[in-house]
Amino acid sequence: MFSLKNKTAVITGAGSGIGRAVAELFAQQGALVHIIELNEANAAEAADTILQNGGTAVIHSCDVSNQQAVTNTFKSIGHFSILVNCAGIAHVGKADTTSEEDFERVFNVNVKGTYNCLHAGIPVLKQQANAVILNVASIAAWVGLPDRFAYSMSKGAVFAMTMSVAKDYLEDNIRCNSISPARIHTPFVDGFIAKNYPGNEKEMFEKLSMSQPIGRMGTVKEVAALALYLCSDEAGFITGCDYPIDGGFIKLNN
């Protein structure tokens, strides 16, 4: 079950965090993985890990917020049947404390970046017998999170784009779903804590972990496993859905 043998997957933001875990698992399950990543060093490290474990990966240095760069990258890739839009950035701030520069930076990567990949990828996916798109949204698209105005805006847009694409391309046999993680333990989280709470890293990590009703942060491998299912043939009857992977945050945190 959940084999991706003879399939080609394009994964953005696959140099670290959730994207890297998805790339590694997809390669393990037999897919040829194309890593789209702005940070070339991270991309190379992810690809090396995949190759060392017997998988196949190709790296592409690309800024997803640049439409021409995305178009050129997708042309160089050629045919593929799975697209995972995972590239994204975060921002801390409320509506009145978020600068225009920061708002546009988050929008350009999280919203425009997803759009750019959909715009370039869908014409290719329409040529496949059974194609899949998976977008990474967030619980921020479902509930109000304090000090996450721009980030919430962007992930709400990703959620809405998912539903629109799912409906528009039913006749083209393209399935489109999204996943909405809560707090997942990634290098970004460690860096965020170290930067904003120096000297109190352990205490803050525990506090953030306990904000999930289940009592801990999720792992990137858990998110990757859900992504694998939704992109596999076993999920062939699923489209137009968002899947929270949140340790009970949305439903049990009241």
Q: Is 151 a catalytic residue?
A: yes
For residue 133, the cross-strand partners are: 83, 176
148: Cα within 13 Å, side-chain hemisphere: 17
Please tell me the distance from the alpha carbon of residue 118 to that of residue 76, in angstroms, as a whole number. 16
Given the residues 115, 151, 169, 229, select the one marked as catalytic: 151
**Rounded Cα gap, residues 65 and 108, in angstroms:** 5
DSSP string, 108-174: IIIIIHHHHHHHHHHHHHTTSSSEEEEEE--GGGTS--TTBHHHHHHHHHHHHHHHHHHHHTGGGTE
Give, in order, the Cα–Cα distances in Å from 150 to each of 12, 95, 125. 20, 8, 30
Where in the sequence numbering do the catalytic residues fall? 151
